[in-house]
Chain A
């Protein structure tokens, strides 16, 4: 059974960095593309970033390009999102999502950017 468990969320002042992690289990992590999707409070879903199965390609939403970095460690079955230059617009629940087609989602971790 696929399990995706996000961690690392919390309250962070504007401009400070934060790193989110996702621990994956129940499938062969190294064979699957992974994504991050976020949802601001009371709002819809926003695609954030994607990394291919071997880490060779990364794709980003325009809203985070140059500030966020997606990465993975296939030896540890973990997916990361390093976030820099955070603004209040980055406040959201961040979901770890499996595969190009988003077939499995974690429970999410809340990031609140506030002074």
Chain B
């Protein structure tokens, strides 16, 4: 199994300050094709999840460039360079390399 563990689970941040979320996998997420299928999602209150980042570091269309993803192997990070009010919500990583697919527990970002 490819269990993924996020930290922290709660993240109070001052507006305009940076934020960072870690996602660690129990196994390497490098697939046999050489790609790493680690994605990041944002779920705002009352909304469906929305993908922000795919394959570690690729921003989806319309995602502000203050969001960035990095990492390799088993350790990954989502960074927000300057938190804005609209960033409030829960962030999830998901591994798409191993069966069964798995999401992290979620990190709740709130404004301090």
Contacts and interface: CB of A to CB of B under 8 A. Distances in A.
Given A44-B105, A45-B106, A102 B100 contact: no
A23 B103 CA distance: 25
A108 B48 contact: yes
A107 B106 CA distance: 19
A47 B51 contact: no
Contacts of B96: 100-102
A45 B48 contact: no
Contact of A95 (B48, B60, B105, B106): B48
Instruction: Determine the interface band of chain A, counting residues with CB < 8 A from chain B.
Output: 20 to 34
Nearest to B106: A44
Interface in B79-112: 90, 92, 94, 96, 99-106
Contacts of B71: none
Contacts of B48: 95, 105-108
A100 B101 CA distance: 10
A105 B50 contact: yes
Given A35-B101, A47-B102, A50-B101, 17 more contacts: A44-B90, A44-B106, A45-B92, A45-B94, A47-B94, A47-B103, A60-B100, A62-B100, A95-B49, A101-B37, A101-B39, A101-B54, A102-B39, A102-B96, A103-B51, A104-B51, A107-B48
Interface of B: 37, 39, 41, 43, 48-51, 54-55, 60, 90, 92, 94, 96, 99-106
